[in-house]
Chain A
């Protein structure tokens, strides 16, 4: 195990980890705002990436506009899911399990819709920053991966500022911590819940758009991203979107170091085993302090 091999694994781990982090942050934001585990979080990524692909290749939009269109598609689907389904079920006091099943059903529907309307082929997007690579000590990292990591870090910091500095972000936190209390201070709790879904949709779409130049997107990508994003969010303590960023990076690094330690084919086995062990041994997530259900 040479230094460059380890460095290569670290590069790959951080890159993948940032994608898991984006998906996981969206999941955690939705859970924080609505107590719904969104089993279709990965579908947001697929929708965002597919929309970008279609706008770029079929409609001929410039790349930045197509990316914005993809992110917007994620936001709109998120808002639609909340207004059309979650709001109604929350009114009926549906159980945790029914929300899980609802989002599983929506995930199946969306994945089937993409298969039906777009087809089963995979699609790639052009890498950001061109095809070039950076070589450090014989380890290679694509410029696109550097962009991905930078955008991921930027999104994490923005999200932090959003929740701590802006009125909307603070209102969302308030609505999730104490819905009745928030309502008495004039916060529209239902609208805040819609916003969390919009936020989750945008973050998921961003993860999907950024990962597509590396691995491509097809209608089946969603489930795997949901599972990894879920794992990232749980490692981070689930209610803490920023914890999900740490969780995602940890997961990515564990996975890619497992590849050089064991074998590439056991990547998922290692990732999910780590997830199960951490859930049992460290129920608060690896950061530990925020608590599973608290703020």
Chain B
């Protein structure tokens, strides 16, 4: 246990020093890693605990971003209003749409959420009075915490990651709570869970709403970081890359979500140094992960640990 505490302390120290020692573009990527971790966390909850493939996260990410952009730029309201408005709208929408759509299962549900993302992306494009269309909304102010302006990546980094840690704590509590137990019962045998009078539909909707909340928060954080939002950021492609985060990292593990977020933010950046071929390599890397590591990176780590423990046990015996 002490060694575990030791490693947590080391990780925290690295986390605190990191933005000051790396170049600005890396610090910028680390901000994005935090934002993507938040968005991916919600999808991980759905995928790992409910077996739901959510391909609609860009919808809620977009709602959060546009709510922040519209409230601060068009209406001149404080940025906190944008965060809250985005969260409330996203959760309400997730509830209203989630109730009917979550009755679907398997491929049909995946396709349903994908269709939702395609609809949202078309509406973001068409409702240019609200979203600015392809021209987007620019000039979104940097966040200001009681006079301390988070205008550099190294400053914003801490804010984003503290929000991310808070979301992870919420997710962890949810999983360890009564709700989490019901989720596990539902995932392992939905019929048995239903016979124990667990409201499966309500449960799945609740997790979907939490996922939308995380997506919206991530979107608001993104808007204040990039200062500019346009339809290109909220397409079906973005929904797909959000889904990749828990898939690559491992859906049930919080370090896995962070690993997945690092993968989808850093890998394209490093591969892009190789020239135009980088998108092909990214696609191939994804295929390789899906084929070779079905439980994601964290699943592989777990297997290596189990293998080493078994070997050590074998040596002792």
A residues with CB within 8 A of B: 37, 85, 88-89, 92, 94-98, 100-102, 104-106, 108-113, 115-116, 223, 227, 230-231, 234, 265-266, 268-269, 272-273, 275-276, 279-280, 283
Contact = CB atoms under 8 A, between A and B. Distances in A.
Given A116-B279, A280-B103, A268 B119 contact: yes
B101 A276 contact: yes
Contacts of A102: 287, 290-291
Interface string B122-155: 1101100000000000000000000000000000
B110 A105 contact: no
Contacts of B291: 85, 88-89, 102
Contacts of B122: 265-266, 268-269
B118 A227 contact: yes
B108 interface: yes
Given A97-B53, A280-B100, A105 B290 contact: yes
Interface string B272-283: 000011011011
Most interface-central of B106, B115, B236 (chain A CB within 10 A): B115
Contact of B283 (A85, A100, A112, A283): A112
B303 to A, nearest CB: 14
Contacts of A92: 294
Contacts of A269: 119, 122-123, 126
Interface in B194-249: 236-237, 240, 243-244, 247
A105 B284 CA distance: 7
Contacts of A223: 236-237
Contacts, number: 107
Contacts of A98: 290, 294
Interface of B: 47, 51, 53, 100-101, 103-104, 106-108, 110-112, 114-116, 118-119, 122-123, 125-126, 236-237, 240, 243-244, 247, 276-277, 279-280, 282-284, 286-287, 290-291, 294
A272 B294 contact: no
Main secondary structure of the interface of A (DSSP, over half): helix
Contacts of B236: 223, 227
B287 A100 contact: no
Contacts of A234: 108, 111
A168 to B, nearest CB: 26
Given A268-B118, A276-B116, A112 B279 contact: yes
B106 A96 contact: yes
A97 B51 CA distance: 9
A113 B279 CA distance: 8
Contacts of A275: 111-112, 115
A276 B115 contact: yes
Contact of B287 (A85, A265, A266): A85
B112 A279 contact: yes
B158 to A, nearest CB: 33
Nearest to A36: B107
Nearest to B114: A227
